[in-house]
Amino acid sequence: MKVIATLAAGGLLGLASLWGSPNAHADSAREQQACQLMDDPAGPQMGYTPAEYAFMQLRATMSAQGARDVMSQAAQDLCPNHIIDLPASWR
């Protein structure tokens, strides 16, 4: 009986790890989009900082937390030159 309980618990943990958290790690396409938006000259031309412009654009298609996570991960993984553009609490 202990073996069955152990296998069942292991199976549940395995399934949980397959689904995981949807915001645990943003996909690379979204991260690339975030970097491109922070590099877009249209933002500063309209009076926005790179992070403000990217957040505004990303927020149109996802939650505020999702946009924050994507931008933070993108700055760490793909465009470290934009880390300084992010609010301190996002770094």
Assign 80 a pLDDT band (cuts: 50, 70, 90): very high
Confirm whether 4 is domain-assigned.
Answer: no
Decide if 60 is inside a domain. Answer: yes
- According to the model, what pLDDT value does residue 83 have? 94
In angstroms, the Cα distances linking 19 to 24, 26, 77 are: 11, 14, 23
In a domain, 1, yes or no: no
Structure-token pair, residue 19: 């689904």
pLDDT band at 25 (very low <50, low <70, confident <90, very high): low
The pLDDT of residue 72 is above 60: yes
Q: Is residue 15 part of a domain?
A: no
pTM summary value: 0.68
Residue 11 placed within a domain: no
Residue 38 inside a domain? The answer is yes
Domain count across the chain: 1
Instruction: Tell me how many degrees the CA angle 85-36-29 measures, rounded to the nearest 5.
Output: 115
For residue 7, pLDDT over 70 is answered with no
| pLDDT for res 58 | 96
Tell me which residue range forms the domain holding 54: 24-90
